[in-house]
Amino acid sequence: MHPPRHLRIVLATVGSRGDVQPMLAVAQALVARGHVPVIAAPPNFGPWIRGLGFEFAELGVDIQALLAGNPSLMTGNPLRMFREIFRYFTEQPTLQVQQLRTICESADAMIYAGLAIFVAPSVCERLQLPGFGVMYTTCLLPSDQHPPATIPWQGLPKWLNDLLWRLDRPFGNWLMRGTLNRMRKLLQLEPVPDIWDHLIGKQPPLLAVDELLMPPDHRWQGRYPYANFLYFDDPLTLDPELDAWLAEGAPPVFVGFGSMSGAGTARIGNLVIEAVKATGLRCVVGAGWAGLGEGVLPPNWRVVRDVPHTLLFPRTAVVVHHGGSGTTAQALRAGVPQVILPLILDQFHHAHRMYVAGLAPRPVPMEKITAIELTRAIREALVLPSNARQITAARLQSSNGREQVAQRLEEVFLDR
């Protein structure tokens, strides 16, 4: 049995571009299957999404402005981060639940990701709307293979990871259950005793990651289905001047930290010139939200602002980045060496998994690395054996995670 065409499907996500762009990939797959996606995302992404021809609805606040006004969110220090996370979850859910309820009143189903996972399940419950969450990482699920996402230390003993997860559950309930239940009261829903069971347990999320690189924990027992990375077909082309510059010399280093900003990126921005110059390579600097590359740069360097990584990364010698899920996935599919300098949350997990797989040097946190260490890491990445990268790239180039997500949505719609 096939689902009816022209389902109106809300794709709700709150976060940075790394949270929004995968939903656009899913939207492309839904359109190809005859459905009507509505992208619900922070207002700063509205012009971009509308320019791509998708219907857009505002959800939450301008994330770029929020991060700029709360630099403590962009730190690997767990205590400082918890303070800002508590403030966010005190202020934002009430606004988002009201917005999302209105957006979804005419919808047939919902897929949610990023920070929208906190409000979306309750909206689905109130409106009796079929749907599920999508996660771009595995570090949000309990495992003795890794600590909770708020813990930056990787490679810990299994017993310690397990203990940290046991502590994380009551801490999460203490931190956010009151906010969640006040939000549910607005929806005339009963309070929930456990955040984990509500957000993850009732409707297991789909993991949009490569299963070989981020394998399941044996205790999950297949509960969390995998798709693969969600690759967006970006209609942008390379600027002709950049294209010519790439063609006229050796492949450059790319340095970019996407939506990251604050003291960490400001610090590393001052180290990049010294570190990359020492390698003798040219460099492309991705400005990102931190505005990298605003000062005087060496001759024959380039600064880019909105450039399709799908086209740029295969023409680089190495990609230096923060370990966001989207940038990591693009570098993997391009088969290019990576140097990962994690700053917050899941980035430490991704950096560690790439190191364990032999796809990147041992990571050093962005807030701690020196220019000498960055030079050394770039050189090490360049001489890592290429076989593992090439095998991974070939696998990802033939994958179709967004189609898997669209197919699962149709299955959930039929099974309701």
Say whether both 245 and 124 belong to one domain: no
- Residue 164 dihedral angles phi and psi, to the nearest 5°: -65, -40
Q: Report the half-sphere exposure of 23 (CA within 13 A, side-chain side).
A: 33
Say yes or no: 80 and 114 in one domain.
yes
**Within-domain flag for 101:** yes
Quote the radius of gyration of the chain (alpha carbons, Å). Answer: 21
pLDDT of residue 61: 83
Host domain of residue 40: 8-231+400-415
Q: Do 118 and 213 belong to one domain? A: yes
Q: How many domains are contained in the chain?
A: 2
The model's pLDDT over 54-63, given as tens digits with 9 standing for 90+, comes to 999 999 887 7
Q: Is residue 3 part of a domain?
A: no
Do 69 and 132 lie in one domain? The reply is yes
| Other beta carbons less than 10 A from residue 48's beta carbon | 17
Q: At what angle do helices 325-334 and 387-397 cross, to 10 degrees?
A: 110
Q: Within a domain: residue 1?
A: no
**Same domain? 322 vs 359:** yes
Going by C-alpha positions, the residue among 39, 222, 132, 38 that lies closest to residue 410 is: 132
Collapsed DSSP state (helix, strand, coil) of residue 67: helix
Q: Are residues 393 and 407 in the same domain?
A: no
Are 129 and 123 in contact, with CB atoms under 8 Å apart? yes
Q: Are residues 345 and 406 in the same domain?
A: no
Tens of pLDDT, residues 185-195: 999 999 999 99
| Tens-digit pLDDT string for the chain (416 aa) | 566 778 999 999 998 899 999 999 999 999 999 999 999 999 999 999 999 999 999 998 877 776 666 665 556 566 666 666 666 667 778 889 999 999 999 999 999 999 999 999 999 999 999 999 999 999 999 999 999 998 999 999 999 999 999 999 998 888 889 989 999 999 999 999 999 888 887 789 999 999 999 999 988 988 999 999 999 999 999 999 999 999 999 999 999 988 777 777 778 877 899 999 999 999 999 987 777 878 778 888 999 988 999 999 999 999 999 999 999 999 999 999 999 999 989 999 999 999 999 999 999 998 899 999 999 999 999 999 999 999 999 999 999 999 999 999 999 887 77
Looking at the fold, whether 213 and 323 belong to one and the same domain comes out as no
Tell whether 102 and 248 lie within a shared domain.
no
372 domain residue, yes or no: yes
Is 301 in the same domain as 193? no
In a domain, 175, yes or no: yes
- Give the pLDDT confidence score for residue 43 in this predicted structure: 94
375 and 319 in one domain? yes
In contact, 76 and 344? CB cutoff 8 Å: yes
Query: CA–CA separation, 381 vs 377, rounded Å?
Result: 6
Same domain, 87 and 160: yes
For residue 407, give the CATH number of its domain: 3.40.50.2000
